[in-house]
Structure formats: structure tokens, C-alpha cells
Amino acid sequence: MKALALVVACVATGALLAGCSSAGKPTNKDDSAFTYLLDRQSNWVENKVDSLPPLPQDANLLPFEVSGNTPLHFAVDSKSLTVGNDGVVRYVVVVTSPSGARNVNYEGIRCDTYEWRQYAGLNADHDGWDQTVANGFTRIENGTLNAYQAALYQDYMCANKMPTGNAQKIVDNIRFKRTAASLIH
């Protein structure tokens, strides 16, 4: 009996060692090509911007803070803000200098890539949009005094690479100064 038990134990040990050695063999599978489901790049397509919003009215402007070190004032037109099913938050921004000069742009922030683009700017006659200033998506700049896209992205519009909610929720957050940092409990 002892001999039979010894043979069975040896066979079992041999099978176990054979299994372990085959598990450690290199394979042709490239583990560096592994991507998590949420990190996979889809064939993203931006929604077509067929029409531009009306020019902003002062009564609809919602001021927001960018930096205590800049003399410029920043505001978003509450009536222009939309959230597309492409993950882009579109809005009209008004940047006002201390002397009263204004830059008015229609822009979009793409939440999943931390990028922004301009669709149009106020024309030279200040009575309509100029689409010749439009550009493609570019990385949002951090750390500059006038990096208002970074402030909008981080404080109000995006979280976890997604819009923070529908347009009304984002507008309410800007209106009531509910930044992402102020919502952490």
C-alpha cells in the first residue's frame, strides 16, 4: 500500500509540476496591447454644428473665476450652453478686459480628451459670428492666467472624462458657483 501511495503521490506531483511549468512558458500574446474596456478608443465622430447660437445678451451672462491674478473677467452665456451626445459641451464665452474690450467666442470642450475648439468668434462689426477663426480640437492649456477652458473643464463642465450633467445642471453649477472642489464632502 505504501508503494502505491508513493507512486500516486509522485504522479500527482509530476502532473502538478508539469502544469506549473507550462503556465510559465512564454506565449506569442502581446500583453502590452491590452486595454481596459473604458480606455478603448471608439470611432468618435463630432456632432455637426449646423447653426450658431444668437449673440449673448448681458442678462444671460454667468461670471466664473479663472485666476485671482488676471484682470480679465470671464462669463458664459447661459442660453448658449449645450451638451452634445458626442461628449462635447458647447458654449459662448465672453472675456472682458478692465477697459471694457470684449472677446466673444463660440467654443466646445471635449470631455474625454481634455481638448477645446473654437467654432466662431464675434465679427469685426460686432453684429454676427465670424467662422473663419474656427479651429480644430487642441489640448487645453493649464497654469496660464487666462486658461479659462481649464477652469470650465475642471470646475463645471467635465468629470471623469464625461460631461458633469445636462446643460441645465452645468448652468446651475456656474450660476451658484458650485465647483467640483466645492462639491467634495
With helix as H, strand as E and coil as C, how does 13-66 read? HHHHHHHHHHHCCCCCCCHHHCCCHHHCCCCCCCCCCCCCCCCCCHHHEEEECC
Per the structure, the complete domain to which residue 99 belongs is given by 58-183
Q: Is residue 117 part of a domain?
A: yes
Q: Is residue 84 part of a domain?
A: yes
Q: Is residue 137 part of a domain?
A: yes
Helix (H) / strand (E) containing 6: helix 2-23
Q: Is residue 22 part of a domain?
A: no
Q: Is residue 12 part of a domain?
A: no
Q: Is residue 47 part of a domain?
A: no
**Quick one: pLDDT at residue 36?**
64
Distance CA 146, CA 117 (A): 16
- At 145, the pLDDT band (50, 70, 90 cuts) reads confident
Q: Which triple of cell numbers denotes residue 159?
A: 468629470
**Quick one: pLDDT at residue 29?**
57
Q: Is residue 49 part of a domain?
A: no
pLDDT digit string (tens) for 42-99? 689 999 999 999 999 999 999 999 988 899 999 999 999 999 999 999 999 999 999 9
Q: Is residue 106 part of a domain?
A: yes
Q: How many residues does the chain have?
A: 185
Q: Which amino acid is residue 33, in one-letter code?
A: A
Task: Average the pLDDT over each of 25-34, 98-107, 115-124, 131-140 and give the range with the smallest value.
Answer: 25-34
| Domains of the chain: total | 1
**Per-residue pLDDT for 30 more than 50?**
yes
